[in-house]
């Protein structure tokens, strides 16, 4: 998820989920480069970025042209020359907005805020000596959260340059291809001097040529591949820390120390779903196919000149920094069964490519073989008697509607191959066990010294429940479980999974309405005063109506699992501030008890985050 309030450390502004404007706030001063126990980094990906505290989402900023040094009478705009340039600012709390905070920290908060405050538009003007397509020599200063490098252009005007595949301390040669707000983007041409501080991991092909991915440096998928795994985990811990500093709009005293990121048991061969894609043949080939047939079209490819020679069918992923698909034969973070299937799928597409008039995306999903018989409510799955299926006996599913089977601890799950389910099975037991322990800590969660401990929840409400992952894996700790979703297909899948695991009498699955997501729970015996709510939304996070309904339900514990820590920080900040406001008269509020990252995607910069909020009497 992505979401970002005002400036770090500011306690005066107000940030909230979508639909609610952000009040302005005073920025806290941050160092130019933020060190984390020797691991220097800032925040997210090389994309357009912007942040103005008082702008609403998707606003357009008008940037005046630089004025002439001579005083002139106002001239009525005439033609294109005198038109003001319009710059569309990115959506608040987006990855682009996050990158702006990287650049802002790197160049200096006071400098950047002062420059923007002048409202002259000079933050969009690259240094005069920095031309497009120019080659420059740079020393990398830091990482962004997305794993790109950020360097200071050696000129008079402070200006950042974002370059992929380089590491802090490297001396590089890069080619500028785009100017943006306070920064330019460049392609990496050469690393002149390597810094070893962030290299030497298992995927560092300079040291271990047979390891890692042979496409690293072109494919944009695994940004942190050369970095030793402990440092990857440090990087992700810092990502969570920065997200809450920048986007929660909570005073630092309300944010607990970020716990160490939980690593994945598998760092390679873990991904259970991949979606390679390909482009259709060019229009001129398709035209020749219709007019002269496939043989003539293939002859044109072999014998033609210019653009009509050398086109090839590429099946894989996007190439970093350049348009088009990169041909990829294998992906080392995908499971072995998926790589084997990709070889077969590549041959199939290559043999039939002339039949495609549009590009397409392939789906490959790792699955257990279909159980025989399939577990049911009358004959549920038994982990005691079910054999552990070795990875080499797994199957690859390519049909979006076909059932996938996956085991998580003592439970079995089934879902359509095209639907959502976590893509790293190896970490699902640590993740779900952590959530369980966070809800039921070894000693009761204590309120302030003079107050009694928070009661222990007996009921679980799994919102955004999908196929029922949390509702089912946590069920043995609760008297009753309810799963809530607005997707009918997800509710059908969750209900089937509950039946396969013999939990049909203990669980309730409700297809709710967005405006009344907790509707119907009271009739089933669920009330906030004895419930825990798990929140696991998509990347965009929760909207304000959902969070308001959650506050009204007033559960004892909220566990917020997020695939986008930036929107999580926004939403958690909203819950804490609103609970203080709404609960002041009756003496209750929520506190953030713990924050921790989980590494569901090793070798990449992505981090999952788990926040635990506890209701206390104030």
For strand 531-535 and strand 557-562, is the pairing parallel, antiparallel, or unpaired? Answer: parallel
Nearest-angstrom CA–CA distance, 122 and 129: 15
Nearest-angstrom CA–CA distance, 534 and 474: 10
Catalytic residue (one of 219, 532, 542, 563): 563
pLDDT the model gives residue 309: 59
pLDDT the model gives residue 11: 40
Closest CA to 140 of 160, 122, 120: 160
pLDDT the model gives residue 451: 54
Closest CA to 500 of 475, 464, 534, 528: 475
- Please, what are the domains in the chain? 31-61+83-197 (2.40.50.140)
Nearest-angstrom CA–CA distance, 618 and 608: 31
* Cβ pair 8, 206 in contact under 8 A: no
Q: Is 464 annotated as belonging to a binding site? A: yes
* Cβ pair 100, 19 in contact under 8 A: no
Q: Alpha carbon of 541 to those of 110, 453, 544: distances in Å?
A: 30, 30, 10
pLDDT the model gives residue 94: 85
pLDDT the model gives residue 448: 47
Model pTM score: 0.84
pLDDT the model gives residue 122: 94
- DSSP assignments along 475-533, one per residue: GGG-SEEEEEES-HHHHHHHHHHHHHTT-TTTEEEEE-BTTBTTTTTGGGT--GGGEEE
Give per-residue pLDDT as tens, 189-207. Answer: 999 999 999 999 999 999 9
* Cβ pair 120, 67 in contact under 8 A: no
| Catalytic-residue membership of 465 | no
Q: Is 422 annotated as belonging to a binding site? A: yes
- Counting as low any pLDDT under 50, the low residues of the chain are 1-16, 18-82, 305-306, 446-450
Structure tokens at 331: 């992906």
3-state helix, strand, coil in the chain (%, to 5): 25, 25, 50
The three-state secondary structure class of 262 is strand
- Give the chain's count of helices (H) and strands (E): 11, 26
Query: Strands (DSSP E) along 234-330, which ranges?
Result: 259-262, 273-274, 277-278, 315-318, 325-327
pLDDT the model gives residue 441: 81
pLDDT the model gives residue 304: 58
- The structure tokens 């031309």 sit at 131
Nearest-angstrom CA–CA distance, 118 and 317: 42
Q: How many CA atoms lie within 13 A of 242 on its CB side?
A: 31
Nearest-angstrom CA–CA distance, 376 and 497: 9
């Amino acid at each position: 998820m992505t979401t970002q309030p005002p400036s770090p450390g500011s306690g005066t502004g107000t940030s909230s989920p979508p639909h609610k404007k952000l009040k302005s706030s005073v920025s806290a001063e941050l160092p130019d480069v933020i060190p984390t126990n020797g691991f220097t980094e800032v925040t997210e990906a090389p994309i357009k970025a912007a942040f103005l505290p008082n702008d609403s989402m998707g606003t357009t900023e008008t940037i005046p042209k630089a004025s002439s040094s001579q005083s002139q009478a106002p001239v009525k705009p005439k033609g294109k020359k005198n038109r003001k340039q319009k710059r569309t600012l990115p959506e608040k709390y987006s990855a682009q907005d996050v990158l702006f905070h990287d650049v802002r920290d790197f160049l200096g908060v006071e400098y950047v805020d002062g420059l923007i405050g002048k409202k002259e538009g000079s933050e969009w003007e690259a240094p005069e000596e920095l031309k497009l397509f120019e080659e420059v020599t740079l020393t990398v200063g830091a990482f962004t959260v997305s794993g790109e490098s950020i360097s200071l252009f050696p000129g008079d005007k402070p200006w950042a340059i974002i370059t992929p595949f380089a590491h802090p301390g490297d001396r590089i040669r890069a080619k500028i291809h785009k100017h943006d707000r306070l920064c330019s983007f460049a392609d990496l041409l050469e690393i002149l001097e390597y810094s070893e501080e962030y290299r030497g991991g298992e995927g560092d092909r300079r040291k271990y040529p047979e390891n890692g991915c042979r496409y690293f440096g072109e494919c944009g998928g695994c940004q942190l591949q050369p970095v030793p795994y402990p440092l990857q985990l440090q990087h992700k811990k810092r990502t969570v820390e920065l997200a809450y500093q920048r986007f929660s709009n909570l005073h630092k005293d309300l944010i607990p120390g970020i716990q160490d990121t939980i690593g994945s048991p598998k760092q390679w061969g873990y991904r259970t779903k991949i979606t390679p894609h390909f482009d259709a043949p060019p229009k001129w080939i398709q035209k020749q196919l219709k007019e002269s047939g496939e043989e003539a079209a293939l002859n044109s490819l072999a014998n033609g000149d210019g653009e009509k020679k050398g086109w090839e069918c590429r099946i894989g992923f996007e190439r970093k920094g350049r348009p088009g698909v990169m041909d990829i034969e294998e992906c080392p973070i995908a499971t072995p069964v998926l790589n084997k299937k990709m070889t077969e799928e590549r041959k199939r597409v290559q043999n039939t490519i002339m039949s495609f008039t549009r590009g397409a995306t392939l789906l490959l999903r790792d699955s257990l073989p279909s159980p025989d018989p399939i577990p049911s409510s009358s004959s549920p799955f038994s982990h005691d008697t079910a054999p552990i299926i070795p990875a080499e006996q797994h199957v690859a599913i390519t049909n979006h509607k076909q059932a996938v089977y996956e085991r998580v601890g003592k439970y079995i799950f089934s879902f359509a191959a095209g639907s959502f389910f976590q893509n790293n099975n190896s970490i699902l037991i640590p993740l779900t066990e952590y959530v369980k322990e966070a809800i039921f800590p070894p000693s009761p969660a204590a309120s302030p010294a003079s107050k009694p401990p928070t009661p222990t929840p007996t009921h679980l409400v799994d919102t955004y429940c999908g196929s029922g992952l949390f509702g089912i894996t946590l069920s043995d700790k609760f008297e009753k479980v309810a799963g809530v979703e607005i997707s009918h297909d997800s509710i059908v899948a969750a209900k089937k999974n509950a039946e396969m695991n013999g939990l049909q009498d203990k669980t309730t699955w409700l297809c709710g309405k967005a405006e009344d997501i907790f509707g119907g729970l009271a009739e089933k015996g669920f009330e906030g005063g004895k419930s825990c709510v798990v929140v696991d939304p998509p990347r965009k996070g929760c909207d304000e109506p959902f969070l308001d309904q959650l506050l009204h339900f007033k559960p004892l514990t909220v566990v917020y699992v997020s695939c986008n820590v930036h929107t999580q920080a926004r939403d958690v900040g909203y819950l804490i501030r609103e609970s203080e406001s709404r609960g002041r008269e009756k003496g209750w509020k929520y506190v953030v008890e713990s924050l921790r990252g989980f590494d569901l995607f090793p070798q990449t910069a992505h981090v999952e985050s788990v926040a635990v909020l506890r209701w206390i009497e104030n």
